[in-house]
Amino acid sequence: MKLSVLVVISLLHLGLCCAQDAGSPPGSLQDILRKSSLRQKVQGPLNPPEFKDQQKPAPFMFGDNVNLQWLGWNGSLPTAAVGIYNGYTKRTDYICKYICEAGFYTPSKGPYCQYPYGEREYYAPEFEILTNRDNFEFVEWKEDSHGSVPEHSVRTCSGVGIYAGKNKYGLGKVVPQFKAFFLPWEGDEYWYKSYQVLAINRDAYTQHISHVKYGIDEVEMFHYPPETMRLSGVTNNECQTVVKTVTISKTSEVESTWNIGRTTMLGITAGITAKIPLIGSAGVEFSGEKTLQFNRGTTMVEALSHSVSVELKVPPNHSCTVRMEGRKITADIPFTARLSRTYRNGETQWTSISGVYDGIQIGEIRAVVDRCEPVVDAKPCP
């Protein structure tokens, strides 16, 4: 009898090691009995004691992928929640986190984020759900192993090495420090060396802004003081007055930017279909709708040429200077629009955006003649 008990205990211990180390989650009655006898199972909402006084981290931003966010649980599942269909359990699970610990939420198990930590599975009633508004950001699952994660993997917190991961049994966390993926399952934590990591795909795309609506009543304009754009001079060394026509020309680059709250990758093709603001001294007017390509990001650069002419009467032994003056005028105009991105796989995603148009124009061009000055050391006239 004693020998039989020792054999059973040895087999149970061997089963525990195999299950915890890359094995299948417990599914048999024997596994359930083993767990109940060897470890107290977590019941209901509970978090590790060391998390009790831990401060909630600052909201983690995904850089320019602004549609990707961690949103606090408010009692209902956000429409943009990022999830998977779990074929092993035949249900849909969603990526969640408690503080910086990644896990899963599934409606059938109640309003909790179930996550692995310290060889156990915990239930957090206050948690955050990963969302991808309008499914706009290109995220995908990538194979990896032994603690490695691909570039641009989805973190739980800024500066913390915990990433959203999964394997065939469900969602969990990848921790490079421990070189493994950790899965919460029926009160326990299991670890695996092979897994998939959620990552942001930052391959090339084309981008277009359309359906632009300007806040015409919210235009903010600023008129800068006049400034000299170019100088020209005429010197008369003769002993009689001369009449000269002076023409001054200058080409300036002005920029128009539609700020959309996110950076556009370098080297991609981007454009806009919209009415273009026309900035003048008296206010802003709008052209008809046009389709244009941006020079860089969401900025268009335009070359403007200005020219002024003035007739000068230059006294003998005098020098006269003519200045081209202009006034820079800026306009900030809020707008809403639709943004589309088409990726290499041919898939196009749309999202609604709001931003600010920032335009610059040079106006009120004029010629200014300064007072003529005697020529120094000029040869006296007879």
3-state helix, strand, coil in the chain (%, to 5): 10, 55, 35
Q: Average pLDDT of 304-330?
A: 93
* Percent of the chain whose predicted confidence (pLDDT) is above 90: 73
Q: What pLDDT does 42 receive?
A: 47
Domain boundaries, the chain: 55-200, 205-374
Q: Phi and psi (nearest 5°) for 206? A: -110, 150
The arithmetic mean of pLDDT across residues 56-84, rounded, is 88
CA 149 remoteness from chain centre: 21
Task: Sort strands 283-293 and 270-280 into parallel, antiparallel or unpaired.
Answer: antiparallel
- pLDDT category of residue 62 using cuts at 50, 70 and 90: confident
Q: What is the pTM of this model?
A: 0.78
Is the pLDDT reported for residue 230 higher than 70? Answer: yes
Q: Find the mean pLDDT for residues 60-73.
A: 88
> Which pLDDT value is given to residue 282?
86
Across residues 317-338, what is the average pLDDT? Answer: 95
| Stretch 143-152: mean pLDDT | 96
Q: Is 121 helix (H, G, I), strand (E, B) or coil?
A: strand
pLDDT recorded at residue 19: 40
- Alpha-carbon gap, residue 289 to 22, rounded angstroms: 60
pLDDT in tens, 237-264: 999 999 999 999 999 999 999 999 888 8
**Per-residue model confidence (pLDDT) at position 300:** 94
Q: Reply yes or no on whether the pLDDT at 281 is more than 90.
A: no
Q: What is the pLDDT of residue 123?
A: 95
Among the ranges given (122-131, 156-165, 263-272), the one the predictor scored with the smallest mean pLDDT: 263-272
pLDDT at 56 over 80: no
Q: Measured at the alpha carbon of residue 351, what is the angle toward residues 92 and 290, in degrees to the nearest 5?
A: 160
- pLDDT more than 70, % of the chain: 85
Contacts of 308 (CB under 8 A, 6+ apart): 247, 248, 324, 365, 366, 367
Return d(Cα 209, Cα 294) in angstroms, integer: 11
Q: Which pLDDT score is estimated for 382? A: 78
Question: Which carries the bigger pLDDT value, residue 377 or residue 322?
Answer: 322
Average pLDDT, the chain: 87
| CATH H superfamily, domain 205-374 | Proaerolysin, chain A, domain 3 (2.170.15.10)
Tell me the average pLDDT across 41-66. Answer: 69
Residue 12 has pLDDT above 60, yes or no: no
Asked whether the predicted pLDDT for residue 138 surpasses 90, the reply is: yes
Q: What is the pLDDT of residue 59?
A: 67
- Res 267: pLDDT: 76
Lowest mean pLDDT segment, chosen from 54-58, 188-192, 240-244? 54-58
Model pLDDT, residue 24? 56
Query: 74-99, pLDDT tens digit by residue?
Result: 999 999 999 999 999 999 999 999 99
231-237 average pLDDT score: 92
What per-residue confidence (pLDDT) applies to 268? 84
CB 99, CB 57: distance < 8 Å: yes
